[in-house]
Amino acid sequence: MFNRLRPLFPYLRRYWRSFAWGCLALVIYNCTKAVLPLIIGRAVDGLRHDLSARHVALYASLLLGLAVVSGTFLYLMRQIIIGASREIEFDLRNDLFANLELQPPSFFQRHRTGDIMARSTNDLSAVRQLLGPAIMYAANTIVFTAAALPFMMRISPHLTLVAFLPLPFASILVQYFGAKIHTRFERIQAMFSDISAQAEENFTGARLIRAFAQEEAQIAAFEESNREYIRRSLLLARLMAMLWPTLELVLGLSLMITLLVGGREVVLHHITVGQFTSYNVYMVQLTWPMIAIGWVVNLVQRGTASVTRIHALMIEKPAIDDSNADASLKDVAIQGDITFDHLRFTYATGPEVLHDISLHVPAGSSLAIVGPTGAGKSTLTALIPRLQDADAGMVLIDGRPIASYPLATLRGAIGTVPQETFLFSATIHDNVSFGVPGATRDEVVEAARVAHIADEILEFPHGFDTIVGERGVTLSGGQKQRTAIARAILRDPRILILDDALASVDTYTEEQILNGLRTVMQGRTSILIAHRVSTARSADRIAVLVDGRVAELGTHDELLARGGYYAELAEKQSLEQELEAV
Ligand SMILES: Nc1ncnc2c1ncn2[C@@H]1O[C@H](COP(=O)(O)OP(=O)(O)OP(=O)(O)O)[C@@H](O)[C@H]1O
């Protein structure tokens, strides 16, 4: 177990001072607490000789003084130790997030989002409980038992032996029930996540459900999940209901033994009534620390498993990094000359997707990529900003392998509009300026103008300050795409990659955007993936990708003359247009 907790050592080392001060407070608190029963005993015994108000007042003030001291140190102990565990949780969460943020997209394919979220929330909270409450209560039990035991033994070793006997059972009971409670609680949580996800999908997919008239079926499915949730909750309630009476039975047994054996000792004049009273107070004081031990065992088991799970994510080194980069290229001005040299590419799973592709896109030129769905177009473009990594030397920019550029430099020179537009739940301004956080409003509006979205945005109630997504307006597919184009343009990139970015706009808007882009992209390299000939035709060259191979390459006219896939596509689309016009 010690080894499994090793990943926490650097964090514990960082906060060792807090833990040391916390432990000091813990020792003082427990020592004062252990003296308390003695004073009560003395007070009771004293009453036999001096039955005066002064005597009572003296002991009452002594007890009050002790209570104040122990209360103060109890506060300090909790504040310092729990505080330190919260600080460690904070550091761990930051480190975990920072590592996740560096992972390439393939990482998020390998790990389910739900699993990552669970590790970042439940597991982190389990680690915090291990470092805070578990350490604190374990130390509390040890120190208090060590402080109280000599006094108890002095009063009566015989009584101590028998009264202590049932106490470990309280720990075992709590540990046993605790483990079962945890399992049942997790099942409830899992069901609750299912219900939440179900509800969320029903709200976001409201249109689809209404359109398919599936309300009744959805209500029935929800009711079924809800019934399962309540069934699991009742199972937990039953377990909880059994725990406390059982615990009270064990603790009551211990008190009964104390009363029987201790009472006999008093009758036999082996101990005084005051000592007997002290003893009883000790037993009551020991109740919680004994219960806590069982709880601590569970916290430690759960926390240790969570440390392992979090650590597994923390040690995942980003598969795509700067390890082969040449630091002297950090500030190099990338021109945008792209070469694919006998490129082959296979994803972590599945067969080879791109086969022996050799293509050269000179700096400042434009290349359109067309081809059937699944041909590998998106994969090819994802290799340029290294969202996926091809083998060394297969993709070059300005004659250098892309891995030799530091990632920030490489990606800083590229503006990408992905196939699936993602907008943050933020203002349109913030979405457009995502890649250039300090951009002024004028720059943002200018980029939006080129993308032909500015006028539509200005018609929204709050213009560029309109929030998009769940908390604000919902943009149409075409509006989202154009916002994403504005986002890429604002970066003023040397290389612009549009992955089917004009698919959701009509041919008129498409032409407007292309006209705007032509001006902006002068002297820059652009790669456009397109399904429409109207998007591809204006590019300097067009590559037709079929089954991961370049099947055709040339200008619009050359490819038309060739009579292959492209010419067929052009004919089909012009026929469609004619039909539409009719
Ligand atoms: N992350 C991935 N892991 C494994 N295989 C993938 C992954 N992404 C894509 N593929 C596979 O690679 C092939 C090429 O996909 P890609 O998305 O590059 O095609 P595309 O030409 O862009 O298609 P479309 O025009 O439909 O967008 C497909 O067979 C696809 O199933």
Q: How far apart are CA 443 and CA 454, in angstroms?
A: 11
In this structure, the residue with its CA closest to atom 29 of ligand 1 is 374
The dihedral built from the CA positions of residue 173, 175, 180 and 185, taken in this order, carries a sign that is: positive
pLDDT at 504: 72
Classified by CATH at the fold level, domain 332-413+495-507+525-582 comes out as Rossmann fold (3.40.50)
Cβ burial of 285 (10 Å; 0-12, 13-18, 19+) is: middle
Token code pair at residue 333: 């001005």
Integer CA distances (angstroms), 204 to 71, 198, 200, 438, 467, in order? 52, 10, 6, 33, 17
> How far, in Å, from the CA of 113 to the mean position of ligand 1?
21
CB contact at 8 A, 510 and 534: yes
CB-based contacts of 79: which residues, under 8 Å, 6+ apart?
Answer: none
Tell me if domain 332-413+495-507+525-582 and domain 421-492 are identical in fold.
yes
Q: How far apart are CA 261 and CA 279, in angstroms?
A: 11
For domain 1-155+309-318, the CATH superfamily is ABC transporter type 1, transmembrane domain (1.20.1560.10)
> How far, in Å, from the CA of 376 to the mean position of ligand 1?
5
Cα–Cα nearest to 376, from 407, 402, 401, 340: 340
List, for residues 92-116, the tens digit of each pLDDT value: 999 999 999 999 888 888 887 777 8
Helices in 6-52 by DSSP H: which ranges?
A: 9-14, 16-49
For helices 215-267 and 273-314, angle between their N-to-C axes, nearest 10 degrees: 150
Give the nearest ligand 1 atom to 545 CA: 21
List, for residues 14-44, the tens digit of each pLDDT value: 999 999 999 999 999 999 999 999 999 988 8
If one residue of 107, 340, 347 were mutated to test the ligand 1 pocket, choosing by the most ligand atoms within 8 A of its CB, it would be: 347
Classified by CATH at the fold level, domain 421-492 comes out as Rossmann fold (3.40.50)
Token code pair at residue 467: 């929030």
- Alpha-carbon Rg for the chain in angstroms: 36
Give the nearest ligand 1 atom to 382 CA: 18
List, for residues 441-477, the tens digit of each pLDDT value: 999 999 999 888 999 999 988 899 999 876 667 788 8
In this structure, the residue with its CA closest to atom 30 of ligand 1 is 374
DSSP structure string for 138-199 = HHHHHHHHHHHHHHHHHH-HHHHHHHHTTHHHHHHHHHHHHHHHHHHHHHHHHHHHHHHHHH
**Tokens 């080879």 correspond to what residue?**
352
Which residues line ligand 1 at a C-beta cut-off of 6 Å? 109, 347, 349-350, 353, 371, 373-379, 419
Q: How far apart are CA 436 and CA 481, in angstroms?
A: 18
List, for residues 199-247, the tens digit of each pLDDT value: 888 888 888 999 888 999 999 999 999 999 999 989 988 988 888 888 8
Domain boundaries, the chain: 1-155+309-318, 157-270, 332-413+495-507+525-582, 421-492
If one residue of 344, 379, 569 were mutated to test the ligand 1 pocket, choosing by the most ligand atoms within 8 A of its CB, it would be: 379
- One-letter amino acid at 525 equals T
Mean pLDDT of the 260-283 span? 90
> How far, in Å, from the CA of 350 to the mean position of ligand 1?
10
In this structure, the residue with its CA closest to atom 6 of ligand 1 is 347
